[in-house]
Amino acid sequence: MTTAVDTNAFLALLYDDEYADASETAIRHAYQEGAVVVTPVVYAELAADGRFDSAADLDRFLEDFSVKVVDPSREARFLAGDRFREYVDRRPDGIQCPACGKKRSVDCEKCDESLSPRQHIAADFLIGAHAAIDCDGLISFDEGFYSTYFPALPVFPN
């Protein structure tokens, strides 16, 4: 069994937030079941966080959890692009409050075009597609997103 790990699971550990214990338990369980992997995208997102002074520090952190960095397959890369296109096509204009759901339209002051924030980026889809195609599951705390675009992907902890 091969389990991929999303960036948010590592950030929970690094910042000792409310998901830290669940994240550590899920990663350790995945290791007992087989291989634990991340894509280069997750590696880059962790490097961008600023918690590591060097690549060697980040490598040691991942090695402590027996995590290997692996490239997504060609099929996974294609699926990521396909699902990202689906997301962009169905994303509504304007912004929506994450707490109450109220929608508001915001227009550009310069050209009057309706603005829509990007809540997810192509990297999120690459992480999900890699887990869906090349792995047996994903450790993430964004189950709602992944279940929408990769419904057959098991997401842990559940």
Query: What is the predicted pLDDT for the residue at 114?
Result: 74
As a whole number of angstroms, the distance between CA 111 and CA 89 comes to 22
Residue 115 lies in a domain: no
Query: In percent, how much of the chain has pLDDT > 90?
Result: 75
113 lies in a domain? no
CATH number, domain of 65, equals: 3.40.50.1010
Residue 107 lies inside a defined structural domain of this protein: no
Neighbours of 26 (CB within 10 A): 25
Domain assignment present for residue 60? The answer is yes
Q: Is residue 114 part of a domain?
A: no
Predicted local distance difference test score (pLDDT) of residue 8: 96
Domain that holds residue 131: 2-92+120-156
Domain assignment present for residue 105? The answer is no
Asked whether residue 33 is domain-assigned, the answer is yes
Looking at the structure of the chain, the number of domains it has is 1
Q: Which of 8, 84, 3 is nearest to 45 (CA)?
A: 8
Domain contains 103: no
Render pLDDT for 4-49 as a digit per residue (tens, 0 to 9).
999 999 999 999 999 999 999 999 999 999 999 999 999 999 999 9
Q: What Cα–Cα distance (Å) separates residue 9 from each residue in 12, 24, 62, 156?
A: 5, 8, 12, 10
Output 105 or 54, whichever has higher pLDDT: 54
Q: What is the DSSP letter of 117?
A: -
- pLDDT value, residue 93: 62
